[in-house]
Structure 1
Amino acid sequence: MVAGEKNGANGIPKKIKFLFVSIESLSGDLAYQIKKEGHDVKVYIKAEEDRDVYEGFLEKVDDWEKHKDWADVIVFDDVGFGGTADRLRKEGRHVVGGSTYTDKLELNREFGQAEMKHFGVNVAESWNFTDFEAAIKFLKEKPGRYVMKPSGAAQDEKELLFIGEEEDGKDLIEVLQHNKKSWARKIKTFQIQEFISAGVEVAAGAFFNGKDFIQPLNINFEHKRLFPGDIGPFTGEMGTLMYWSQPNTIFNTTLAKMKDALAQSGYVGYIDINCIANSRGIYPLEFTARFGYPTISIQMEGILTPMGEFLYKLSRGENFELKTKKGFQVGVVVVI
């Protein structure tokens, strides 16, 4: 029990201290919801240009490490904090988000694909490159329709993603030849993946308590193009439709197979695998080992369990069933 606070319903303290650690002020919506539930919330934002976000709504701190002893739950809202999260868990602290292993799953596409294949997940064929000339040579020798995806930090710049339209791959060759000098400064490693045609893009996700997945799981469909009609450049996410489900085929053939590896890493938080599903099978594309944005905000609309209670129990490795609404939740990003 949290010192100085009496237990409320279900043995949950009435007031819990949450410390959010963010690079780009991504999780303010979640933090503010927890504050509205009556809990104490402090937020650290690393990026100077983002520190005025949520001004007046949330208490900001300049050095989160000085407040870790104050916090009952520490929340990391993005990848890149894995090593720190592992260290804090070893110290006995309750942490949501991040592990060295899951950071690598998301940031290193080659590693993520290899891990899926190792655990028996059906993956699309892919090739990894650090040199644009080598990739161009490969495409000329092995014509086909491909998708080009950057790895590492560059994958956050969605305009660098390219989905080929031509069956001989000449459009991708032209894009690489035209952009190789400028992209070489941003992209150190990238992946060329076979194009999976005539399918639906769908993700299977779930919250993980360090030992097992919390039910129900989340099935979601992202819209990544900037404009309606599936046109325009790719973005992080322009809108998502989702629903809550008990384990199904998409989950059982993809994310469920990663359970033991996630447990060994000690990961606590949300994770999903984005896939292409068609008549020939389910083809996983990539991991998201953190809250999704705006996915978490949409999920909050469908979660009936108070978010503070939920993250408190999740951080402690408790096994419980999340209370959720039936039907669909839909979120739309508005660009101004």
Structure 2
Amino acid sequence: MKTIIPAVKNFLFISRWGETLDIVHTIKQEGHVVKFFIEDKSSKEIGFGFVDKITRWEKYVDWADIIVFDYTGYGKIASELRAKGKIVFGGTAYTDLLELDRNFGQSELQKHKIKVIPSKEFTSFKDAVIYIEQHPNSYVLKPCGETQELKQLLFVGSDDEGLDVIRVLKAYEKSWGNNFGVFQLQRKVKGVEISVSAFFNGKEFLYPINITFEHKKLFPKELGVSTGEMGTSMFWTKDSPIFNATLLKFQNTLAKHGFVGHIDINCIVNGNGIYPLEFTSRFGYPQILIQRAGINEPIGDLLYKIASGENFKINTKKGFQVGAFIVVPPFPYDDKKTFELFSKDAVVVFKKNGKEGVHPMHLKKINDEWLITGNTGIAVLVSGFGNTMKDAQKMMYNRINNVIINNGYYRTDIGDRWAEDSDKLWSWELL
């Protein structure tokens, strides 16, 4: 059934860190009325001057035509609001657990008859060291729960006996003591890292689906610390063997739990098969911003149709989309003094008029100038698109060259892996 979309809708966005500023700002530019709430105190300035900020979102529930939750952890309240008849884009208690509890996510994959990489959960560094000594192999160290947001703590070992992971565990024990929380050791599998994602309307997945290649390290050629992400390349497709073997198997379960939103599963794939790593049961960042560069319909209408339960084909561009963060000190670290010294209130300057493809992240606007705020140093995301990966890269880097940010830095190789990765994926019959 086709959804009757009001000409002007009231959007209420509840954000954890303010990462959806670009989406909120775009929906406002599309002619809708938007209220933007940010939970994190240090991120409260984000969005000032761009959109209408509020301090208590609960007051606007009745006002809203659609409520959007942009992060995990809101699943229970999102389901309660849906039960009351509100149109809600957001997770459920079940999908929150898929992302936040790695063990639960792995057990659900097994329950859905999906092959997983062997892993074990720990709360003690000493126990983890003993385990590696008894089971020598190469491992990936993954923080769980809230600690997993500190992406620089993720460590991918390369030593076949796990000696490098043991050294890191001993260093974490000295620096973190007993405050690290739960973490996981997962056997390392070599291959291509790839994500598949899709929007879900409460009953079924919507097509096309999105294939994403993340670039997580700080420096080009995958050097330096893990940042969460420095940039991404992607494309849309109506069919994917990886999607069919993973996310699609969750369709009935997601419908049973009433999930309405966006869900992504990150995998390592090789000639032996597909190995899911983890779920992101919400918008990905910067994934959703780069996806927007490949979507031909207004993002406000898209979210409203999905949250209303409509089944439709998403109107997307052919070819590829890429995006890169421009960041400033202390990114990817948390250092308030460094941020205030080098980055706070720094101006984003444009050489020429036109901000096409430049997506505001942790910014505020004063006298029509974009100023950096927050505390993590993520200034903007710059996107590009094209029929080939090289075309998309060229557009993105041309746009980056139009942006001046004092002390800003970014990766110069986003999308370069596609040539090699695509050859492997074709040979493994996974594209």
TM over 0.5: yes
Cα contact 2:106–2:116 (8 A) shared by 1: yes
Residue of structure 2 equivalent to 1:96: 89
Structure 1 Cα separation of the partners of residues 256 and 246 of structure 2: 18
Cα contact 1:74–1:96 (8 A) shared by 2: yes
Residue of structure 1 equivalent to 2:262: 270
Q: Of 48, 52, 55, which aligns to 1:55?
A: 48
**TM-superposition CA deviations, 1:140-175 (whole Å, max 9, x none):** 100000001011010010111011110000111111
Residue of structure 1 equivalent to 2:149: 156
Identity within the alignment, %: 49
Structure 1 residues 85-164: aligned runs within 5 Å: 85-164=78-157
Cα contact 2:117–2:276 (8 A) shared by 1: yes
Cα contact 2:38–2:44 (8 A) shared by 1: yes
Q: Secondary structure at the match of 2:208?
A: strand
Q: Of 24, 42, 53, which aligns to 2:17?
A: 24
Q: Secondary structure at the match of 2:12?
A: strand
Q: Secondary structure at the match of 2:327?
A: coil
Cα contact 2:5–2:301 (8 A) shared by 1: yes
Q: Secondary structure at the match of 1:12?
A: coil
Q: Of 293, 302, 317, which aligns to 1:310?
A: 302
Structure 1 Cα separation of the partners of residues 248 and 10 of structure 2: 32
Structure 2 Cα separation of the partners of residues 127 and 71 of structure 1: 44
Residue of structure 2 equivalent to 1:322: 314
Structure 2 Cα separation of the partners of residues 137 and 242 of structure 1: 40
1:84 deviation in Å? 1.0
Q: Which amino acid aligns with 1:87?
A: E
Change (3 A) 1:58 1:185: farther
Residue of structure 1 equivalent to 2:166: 173
1:185 deviation in Å? 4.5
1:177 deviation in Å? 1.4
Please state if 1:232 is matched with 2:237: no
**TM-superposition CA deviations, 1:101-154 (whole Å, max 9, x none):** 111000000000110111011111111112221111110100000001011010
Residue of structure 2 equivalent to 1:285: 277
Cα contact 1:159–1:233 (8 A) shared by 2: yes
Structure 2 Cα separation of the partners of residues 100 and 12 of structure 1: 28
Cα contact 2:67–2:89 (8 A) shared by 1: yes
Structure 1 Cα separation of the partners of residues 176 and 110 of structure 2: 29
Q: Please, which moves more after superposition, 175-184 or 275-284?
A: 175-184
Q: Structure 1, unaligned stretches of length 5 or more?
A: 1-8
1:11 deviation in Å? 3.1
Cα contact 1:202–1:220 (8 A) shared by 2: yes
Q: Which amino acid aligns with 2:140?
A: V
Q: Which amino acid aligns with 2:19?
A: L
Residue of structure 2 equivalent to 1:300: 292
Structure 2 Cα separation of the partners of residues 261 and 124 of structure 1: 22
Structure 2 Cα separation of the partners of residues 171 and 46 of structure 1: 38
How many pairs does the alignment contain?
327
Structure 2 Cα separation of the partners of residues 30 and 207 of structure 1: 16
Structure 1 segments (4+ residues) deviating >4 Å: none
1:48 deviation in Å? 2.2
**TM-superposition CA deviations, 1:274-323 (whole Å, max 9, x none):** 00111111110000011011111100000012111111111111111100
RMSD over aligned Cα atoms: 1.2
Q: Which amino acid aligns with 2:113?
A: G
Please state if 1:223 is matched with 2:215: yes
Residue of structure 2 equivalent to 1:242: 234
Structure 1 Cα separation of the partners of residues 13 and 211 of structure 2: 26
